[in-house]
Chains A and B, each alone.
Chain A
Amino acid sequence: MLRQVFKRPQKRSVFWESIFKEIEDLGINSIGIVAFISFFVGGVVVIQTALNLENPLTPRYLIGFASRESLILEFSPTLISIILAGKVGSYIASSIGTMRVTEQIDALEVMGINSLNYLVLPKIIANVFFYPFVIVISIFLGIIGGWVAGNITGLVSTSDYVNGVQWEFEPFHITYSLIKTAVFAFVIATIPSYHGFYVKGGAIEVGKASTRAVVWTSIVIIVLNYILTQMLLGK
């Protein structure tokens, strides 16, 4: 399948048009839900961290530090990717699956179009290049959410929180986060495309393929998360 996907696009102008459409469908349309979840989870992370650091000898700025690290290392790249596997993965599998069962893919093939390349490559490119931006937004909004929650509950002052967020900052953690995101973005585009493209039957099978796609995408993301963490951060 991937050999067909990565062939040279037949018409560059149509290809670029598809990429921008996919960026809108798969990326821009996901920003709202990502922003909402990130903001509130950032708040929850701060509250839970604060409640677990009750020892008066522990500096309060550690709350900001711990929240930043959890958001950059795990929450934004991995959990947001799993959420996107559900939202975007099911959309990809069901839209391609519906095209398959309604003979739209056959129509593309009869026209002489490499349907895998035409349908899947723009999705991969849109995901791999746009999701890192989405994750950066998620990290930023998560940190803002944490600051707001810390202030509202009085668990951490603005100065402590800001100090903590800046403390011992390791730029490679951002690189690690973005590398993970790019790999997960590739998985989110390809596994659901595979399940949708090779679906056989009708509406029920499309639904089943969509569910299967989300399950497998999530499993692969979790396994790859472990492997990539070991490779990039392990000693």
Chain B
Amino acid sequence: MIEVKDLYKEFDGVPVLKGISTTFEKGKTSLVIGESGSGKTVFLKCMLGLLTPEKGDICYDGKNYGEMTGDEKRNLRKEIGMVFQGGALFDSSTVEENIIFPLKMFTDKPYNEMLERVNFVLQRVNLENVNDKYPAELSGGMQKRVAIARAIVMKPKYLFCDEPNSGLDPKTSIVIDNLIQEITDEYEIITIINSHDMNSVMEIGEKIIFLKDGIKEWEGTSDDIFKTDNKAITDFVYSSNLFKKVREAQLKESGL
């Protein structure tokens, strides 16, 4: 379990996260949603240790990240898989080199075994015959799948995804969402996704955390979203015409 307690982060005196507390459970896909600039990425980066919060604790399975030694942090990071918004694939390396890299860095397996694992995760994300291609030769959706393959190659306990659907068409977005969901179930990992894609929220969100201006405005399940009377979240959800129409139809059906 990951526990976040009273997380506070500011840049040049401007607070971006204002005391966020929440928990993320094993085997569940949690989505952190909110408008652009609401603090989602900063929240994720604080959890990953890429940014140091001014205040607050982040506990991974009971261990406070802020109190860990350098070695403990490095060991924890080996258990973390991350899918960046732009993929963050090493552009001068091939797909195979990208995925095999963490294995080379952190294991002493023979090369054949590492290659076997690379091919297995590539199959898992439904990619074939791309081993020798460079990231620039792949489509956006394929790059995201390679990024997922690289994130899961070390069998992580925690998977973080920063807007995995940005720049993808709706059909590919669903494929990526389903893939993340399947991997979460299969490996029983804690998956945390930053998104502002309401389709993802409905598709795979088992727990939703809504951030607004650096504050946790709302928390619940995807079903709760349609029942809540929190104005901030309803404004966010129904800013999409599609969801507005779904809402109108639901209200009509229920005779309200």
- Verify B88–A112 contact, CB threshold 8 A: no
**Given A11-B105, A14-B105, A112-B77 contact (CB < 8 Å):** yes
| Interface residues of chain A: helix, strand, loop or mixed (majority) | helix
Pick from A10, A99, A102, A110: contact of B105, CB under 8 Å: A10
For residue A104, CB closer than 8 A to chain B, the reply is yes
- Verify B75–A107 contact, CB threshold 8 A: no
- Verify B104–A11 contact, CB threshold 8 A: yes
Report B-chain residues with C-beta under 8 Å of the C-beta of A102: 86, 88, 91
A78-115 vs B, CB cutoff 8 Å, 1 = contact: the mask equals: 00000000000000000100110011101101111100
Q: How far is the CA of A112 from the CA of B77 in the complex (A)?
A: 5
Report B-chain residues with C-beta under 8 Å of the C-beta of A230: none
Q: Size class of B's contact patch?
A: 20 to 34
For residue B63, CB closer than 8 A to chain A, the reply is no
For residue A13, CB closer than 8 A to chain B, the reply is yes
- Verify A103–B105 contact, CB threshold 8 A: no
Pick from A10, A95, A99, A110: contact of B82, CB under 8 Å: A110
Chain B: minimal CB distance from A100 (Å): 11
- Verify A110–B48 contact, CB threshold 8 A: yes
B68-99 vs A, CB cutoff 8 Å, 1 = contact: the mask equals: 00000111111010101110111110000000
- Verify B84–A103 contact, CB threshold 8 A: yes
For residue B50, CB closer than 8 A to chain A, the reply is yes
Q: How far is the CA of A112 from the CA of B101 in the complex (A)?
A: 12
A161-175 vs B, CB cutoff 8 Å, 1 = contact: the mask equals: 000000000000000
Chain B: minimal CB distance from A11 (Å): 5
- Verify B106–A103 contact, CB threshold 8 A: no
- Verify B86–A110 contact, CB threshold 8 A: no
- Verify B78–A106 contact, CB threshold 8 A: no
For residue B102, CB closer than 8 A to chain A, the reply is yes
Chain A: minimal CB distance from B4 (Å): 17
Chain A: minimal CB distance from B148 (Å): 13
- Verify B77–A106 contact, CB threshold 8 A: no
Nearest residue (CB) in A for B74 is A112
- Verify B84–A107 contact, CB threshold 8 A: yes
Report A-chain residues with C-beta under 8 Å of the C-beta of B106: 11, 112
Which chain A residues in 1-42 approach chain B with CB under 8 Å?
A: 10-11, 13-14
- Verify A106–B102 contact, CB threshold 8 A: no
Nearest residue (CB) in B for A112 is B77
- Verify A111–B84 contact, CB threshold 8 A: no
Nearest residue (CB) in B for A17 is B104
Report A-chain residues with C-beta under 8 Å of the C-beta of B45: 106
- Verify B73–A112 contact, CB threshold 8 A: yes
Report A-chain residues with C-beta under 8 Å of the C-beta of B160: 110
Q: How far is the CA of A109 from the CA of B105 in the complex (A)?
A: 13
Q: How far is the CA of A110 from the CA of B79 in the complex (A)?
A: 10
Report A-chain residues with C-beta under 8 Å of the C-beta of B77: 109-112
**Given A102-B88, A103-B85, A104-B90, A13-B104 contact (CB < 8 Å):** yes
- Verify A14–B104 contact, CB threshold 8 A: yes
B206-225 vs A, CB cutoff 8 Å, 1 = contact: the mask equals: 00000000000000000000
Q: How far is the CA of A107 from the CA of B84 in the complex (A)?
A: 8
Could you list which residues of chain B lie within 8 angstroms of chain A, going by C-beta atoms? 45, 48-50, 73-78, 80, 82, 84-86, 88-92, 101-102, 104-106, 160
Could you list which residues of chain A lie within 8 angstroms of chain B, going by C-beta atoms? 10-11, 13-14, 95, 98-99, 102-104, 106-107, 109-113
Beyond A104-B89, A111-B102, list 19 extra A-B contacts (CB 8 Å): A10-B105, A11-B104, A11-B105, A11-B106, A13-B104, A99-B90, A103-B84, A103-B86, A107-B82, A109-B49, A109-B50, A109-B77, A110-B48, A110-B77, A110-B80, A110-B160, A111-B80, A111-B101, A112-B75
Q: What are 25 A-B contacts with C-beta separation under 8 Å?
A: A10-B105, A11-B104, A11-B106, A14-B105, A99-B90, A102-B91, A103-B88, A104-B88, A106-B84, A107-B84, A107-B90, A109-B49, A109-B77, A110-B48, A110-B50, A110-B80, A110-B82, A111-B77, A111-B80, A111-B82, A112-B73, A112-B74, A112-B75, A112-B77, A113-B105
Give the 10 A-B residue pairs with the shortest CB-CB distance, closest first: A112-B77, A103-B88, A107-B88, A112-B74, A110-B82, A103-B84, A112-B78, A104-B88, A11-B105, A110-B48
